[in-house]
């Protein structure tokens, strides 16, 4: 048994979509969320800069005695996970990857879209996943332009955001994809707008949140570091931005 917290890290608000899954699935676990906020968005930063920020963030979470880290950011995972695992060799670290495997398996038309940041779409990780699972499947990649900014501004419901979502999603629908993979942890916050654009069409929208929480659960088991059932979990929200940003993180985490 180990009542130390799990650390969850993202460039900003996006990782809260993963945080919510962990909160639901692992009710005994304390969670410390670090949303950088100061350097967000990461999507078009050079890889080396993202690596530096990821190291800084994990170090910050370790000051809070975290027993396991979830890099709840596809972009930071693509740029930095190998580096983090080398540098913090003793620490269990879980990364985020686009749900390419289930998408390719579930697509009846064998046409799948992956929507993510520029950095993630260019990544070696995605290339390998597509090579492994994408045989016989046409995969269309699209950058969710303006999506991260909309979520950071709490503007998920605005008419302007809906237009941004439409501009990205409509061409994918015209290409007749039947599965859309959300390959950035900010994007699940835009699911409602995406569904609105999809309308009645038979299109599945999938993200990696649940798979990640299952992976965390199995690692806690594997290392024997689950929290005790009588543990009273605590939830903290940290950021490299200001106190108001931390407060907004907390609000968004518990917002329904």
Where on the chain is the footprint of ligand DGL (CB under 6 A)? Answer: 10-11, 14, 40-43, 73-75, 117, 120, 148, 184-186
Q: Is 184 a catalytic residue?
A: yes
Catalytic-residue membership of 73: yes
Distance, C-alpha 174 to centroid of its chain: 26
Least distance to ligand DGL, CB of residue 191, Å: 14
CB 30 → ligand DGL: shortest distance, Å? Answer: 22
Task: From the candidates 40, 66, 184, 246, give the one annotated as an active-site residue.
Answer: 184
Shortest CB 25 distance to ligand DGL, Å: 19
Query: Quick check: bond before 41 cis, omega within 30?
Result: yes
Least Cβ distance, residue 75 to ligand DGL (angstroms):
3
Closer residue to ligand DGL (CB): 30 or 117: 117
Q: How far apart are CA 156 and CA 110, in angstroms?
A: 30
Q: Cβ neighbours of residue 112 under 8 Å, at least 6 residues apart?
A: 100, 103, 104, 134, 137, 138, 139, 140, 177, 178, 179, 180, 181
Catalytic residue selected from 40, 66, 73, 104: 73
Contact 74, 120 (CB under 8 A): yes
Instruction: Please name which of 50, 52, 95 lies closest in space to residue 73, comparing C-alpha atoms.
Output: 95
Question: Measured from the CB atom, is 40 or 126 closer to ligand DGL?
Answer: 40
Write out the H or E segment, with its range, that includes residue 184. none
Q: State the catalytic residues.
A: 73, 184
């Amino acid at each position: 048994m180990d009542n130390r917290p799990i650390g969850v890290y993202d460039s900003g608000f996006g990782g809260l979509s993963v945080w919510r899954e962990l909160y639901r699935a692992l009710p005994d676990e304390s969670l410390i969320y670090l949303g950088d906020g100061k350097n967000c968005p990461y999507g078009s930063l050079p890889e080396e800069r993202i690596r530096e920020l990821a190291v800084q963030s994990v170090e910050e979470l370790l000051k809070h005695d975290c027993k396991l880290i979830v890099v709840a950011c596809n972009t930071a995972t693509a740029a930095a996970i190998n580096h983090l695992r080398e540098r913090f060799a003793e620490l269990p670290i879980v990364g985020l990857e686009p749900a390419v495997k289930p998408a390719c398996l579930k697509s009846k038309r064998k046409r799948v879209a992956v929507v993510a940041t520029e950095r993630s779409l260019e990544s070696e990780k995605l290339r390998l996943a597509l090579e492994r699972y994408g045989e016989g499947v046409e995969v269309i990649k699209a950058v969710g332009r303006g999506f991260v900014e909309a979520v950071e501004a709490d503007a998920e419901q605005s008419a302007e955001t809906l237009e941004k979502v439409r501009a990205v999603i409509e061409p994918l629908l015209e290409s007749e994809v039947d599965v859309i993979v959300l390959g950035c942890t900010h994007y699940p916050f835009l699911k409602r707008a995406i569904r609105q654009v999809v309308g009645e069409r038979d299109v599945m929208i999938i993200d990696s949140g649940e798979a990640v929480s299952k992976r965390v659960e199995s690692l806690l088991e594997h290392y024997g570091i689950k929290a005790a059932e009588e543990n009273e979990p605590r939830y903290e929200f940290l950021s490299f931005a200001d106190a108001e940003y931390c407060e907004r993180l907390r609000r968004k985490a518990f917002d329904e």
